[in-house]
Amino acid sequence: MSTSLPAYEIYAVKYAGPIVSSVAMVLWLTDWDTKIERNYYVWVVRGNGETLIVDCGVAPALAKARQIPGYVNPVEVLARIGVEASEVQKVIITHVHFDHISGIELFPNATFYIQDEEFHFWIKDPVAQKPPFLMVTDPVGNRYLADLEGTERLVCVKGDQAILPGIELLSAPGHTPGLQVVAVNTARGTAILGSDCGHLFRNYQEEVPSCFIVDLVAWMTTYDKVKSAVSSIDLLFPGHDMKMLTDYPMVADGITRLV
């Protein structure tokens, strides 16, 4: 992106974790016997008079039902840097897995931006009701999303699209049918919030996805696309890496500034 565009700051907001699993869950068929920790995040993109939230986190009821370790209501965490969830105007939904969509009710005045393909798969396609997809679905969050159809609070984006100067949504399928990543102009160039396109920085460094992939060939193509769109690989941020909390300046409890 051009330097004449406004530059934004990006914050990682941890609302749950650490969650422990086999390495194989986050690095395709690698190292079944070793455990790894991951966190759950939403992100804040701030600048040029705008505050955007990327992903919704998990609503309290689902966090309780799923007994998610280390859970704090994202509303409470966001308030630590002065973001009032009830006043947020724009929320980007990267994909419709429960840890990214369940908290949609926490942003009652927001307009949500989602890829058309992602909306149609999870809300309309009967395949989304099959067990492997239900495992990662929050029916309550999906119902809220479905009910927004046809209102001005839902924008279904078709492919790559700028939504503000310096903020572009990029179609990035593979992890889900219509995942989108967010390209953000920053003081250091174009950063990309990749969400679960890669769970870890290692997914990008090693060209190996997590095991949660609906289309491996699409993922490899997406990988090349996001890598060529980002100004440098260290500005390509994953969805769940512990390092987003430990390796960046902490600005409040559970919140770091990535760029």
Residues that bind Zn ion (CB under 5 A): 99, 196, 239
> How many residues does this entry show for the chain?
259
Residue 164 CB, nearest distance to Zn ion (Å)? 24
Min CB(97)–Zn ion separation in Å: 5
Q: Which is nearer to Zn ion, 99 or 168 (CB)?
A: 99
What does the alpha-carbon distance between residue 26 and residue 154 come to, in Å, rounded to a whole number? 31
| Closest distance to Zn ion from the beta carbon of 100 (Å) | 6
- In whole angstroms, give the CA distance from residue 231 to residue 197: 17
What's the closest the beta carbon of residue 227 comes to Zn ion, in angstroms?
A: 20
Of 47 and 239, nearer to Zn ion (C-beta) is 239
Rounded Cα distance, 43 and 106, in Å = 14
- Rounded to an integer, what distance in angstroms lies between the CA atom of residue 192 and that of residue 181? 7
Measured from the CB atom, is 5 or 26 closer to Zn ion?
Answer: 26
- Token look-up 């190292």 returns 31
Closest CA to 21 of 215, 176, 141, 199: 199
- Tokens 């924008």 belong to 155
Q: How far is the CB of 70 from Zn ion (least distance, A)?
A: 15
Q: Residue 5 or 192: which CB sits closer to Zn ion?
A: 192
Tell me how far apart the alpha carbons of residues 237 and 49 are, in angstroms, rounded to a whole number. Answer: 23
Q: Shortest CA distance to 5 belongs to which of 59, 50, 41, 39?
A: 50
Residue 39 or 171: which CB sits closer to Zn ion? 39
**Residue found under tokens 């990029």:** 170
Count of beta carbons in the 10 Å neighbourhood of residue 25 = 18
CA-angle at 211, arms to 206 and 213, nearest 5°: 100
The token pair that represents 161 in the structure block: 């699209």
Least distance to Zn ion, CB of residue 1, Å: 26
When the beta carbons of 99 and 117 are compared against Zn ion, the nearer one is 99
